[in-house]
A and B are shown apart, each in its own frame.
Chain A
């Protein structure tokens, strides 16, 4: 009992510790850089001799890769989930579900390399004839999307499968076909689980580092097209954290300011989605 209590207390202490460790250098940073300049500036050059700390370029980088990832993962993931939960035979499901989980276990550095070595030069440039540089938010976003498909599909499938059979029967007995039953009864009944799966996928996409560091590029710039390269918040953190920076310097503190922003964004996404789900769910 005491041991369990200790473990519980420890996890709380660690969490608080992380927040404090993140917060203190970030506060130092905002003592030197105006919060508004940070949030609205369009030039990100923290290492230059006359540095600029406008974080919008990193935000646009993250926005583009994340949006592209969702564009891939939501339709494919939900399609797969609906197929598995509502149409696939038990045998197909038995093969597919574990396959999805294996896919979810592939390390992201492998995905990053896949984006860099195959998706960008072969799939996008050679086959689809899209002109790209070595790095692009398009390649990174697509592969990011592929990476989160299993998350979306697997959790959505759980949510759909958990909808009582009686609801499907009720709909079918009225003369509704299977597609309408799926879309108008089963899907709304499972919406909170489905939304949760998308939010989890979204959070993973926002927080994913390896893929974007390898495939999106490491030049922070305002991104306004899918074929451009750019840096994301996580990409910047990875780049800076692996370089040499002395604790206490502004360059070092920048890391934590961006980290705090990332943390806040993720938190906001979660809060908004919880609200949305409460509003639209049809709980059974």
Chain B
């Protein structure tokens, strides 16, 4: 069995973690790129994505090759425990869907995976969330670098009130990516997000002139432009019509070849269609605190989850009967 093969394209970003400095190195070898990612700089290991990919895709291995792992994770808002005892691994270059009734903590879990929770006053995580084996919440870890590597797409499209071009160029600029030609970066990101053909003649126009579905693809393109390894999506299609939704789903399947994707969705069919693995959460009053606390009920390969779930609650939820 060999899930790994060496690959040296695409993810060589040539990033200078400090500031943009075009003068130091014009020849950006993959070695220097990886040095820029090294543990000393950000307290994070070098991403798996630069050297590994599935050869057997679309076959889903029985156990995920972990990019991110949650180990007995509890998440609190102040004294309120929103999520309890989550242990699961998110597989490399897989799409993982998080499903479950409203309020069970899907968004909370998702936000904890790139430290977006840090921005909510009072939010805190216990247990261990690791990224390539390193504690993502470790004292020497730079949350900003975590978010650069683990991007996020939100429920409501939130393009910046700038031009389409500026929306894409923003990330590479502010994260200090060494970019030889920004036009190429913009074109590549938009192409990968299946938006290029629709916007190539109006790059200088405001992103607000785009339709909701186009705006959401722009947000995906914007995320891709900083070359993350993981993309988190919180109900990315909930504000979109079926056709726009279809396009985003196609895009996700496309992106899975190079990115690890974790998506929260309320749409069962969507999870069944796109996800390799599905995790079902629910909320119940906890014995010790009395709070309605979210917990992970079942996590398995999607086909198994939807055809033959082992937990009665999963089966009820999936078949539309709430427990």
Residues of A within 8 A of B (CB): 89-90, 164, 166-167, 169-177, 180-181, 184-185, 188-189, 282-284
Interface readout for B136-148 with A: 1 if CB under 8 Å, 0 if not? 0000000011011
Interface readout for B159-173 with A: 1 if CB under 8 Å, 0 if not? 111100000001100
One of B114, B149, B174, B208 near A171 (C-beta < 8 A): B174
Q: A90-B121, A171-B174, A175-B148 are in contact. List 14 more A-B contacts (CB 8 A).
A: A172-B116, A172-B119, A174-B147, A174-B171, A174-B174, A174-B175, A175-B149, A175-B175, A175-B226, A176-B170, A177-B174, A188-B162, A283-B208, A284-B208
Please name all residues of chain B whose beta carbon is closer than 8 Å to the beta carbon of A175 when the two chains form the complex: 144-145, 147-149, 151, 171, 174-175, 226
Complex: A211 Cα to B59 Cα, angstroms? 78
Complex: A185 Cα to B159 Cα, angstroms? 10
List the 10 closest pairs (A to B, CB-CB), nearest first.
Answer: A175-B148, A173-B152, A282-B161, A166-B158, A174-B171, A176-B174, A284-B161, A170-B158, A180-B174, A175-B175
Please name all residues of chain B whose beta carbon is closer than 8 Å to the beta carbon of A283 when the two chains form the complex: 161, 208
A282 touches B147 (CB 8 A): no
B148 touches A174 (CB 8 A): yes
- Shortest Cβ distance from B116 into A: residue: A173
Nearest-CB distance from A183 to chain B (Å)?
A: 9
How many residues in B have their beta carbons less than 8 Å from beta carbons of A?
27
Nearest-CB distance from B16 to chain A (Å)?
A: 13
A167 touches B145 (CB 8 A): no
How many pairs, one residue from A and one from B, have CB atoms within 8 Å of each other in the complex? 78
- Shortest Cβ distance from B222 into A: residue: A174
Please name all residues of chain B whose beta carbon is closer than 8 Å to the beta carbon of A174 when the two chains form the complex: 147-148, 151, 170-171, 174-175, 222-223, 226
B223 touches A173 (CB 8 A): yes
A172 touches B147 (CB 8 A): yes
B154 touches A166 (CB 8 A): yes
> B82-139: which have CB < 8 Å to A?
114, 116, 119, 121
B219 at interface, CB cutoff 8 A: yes
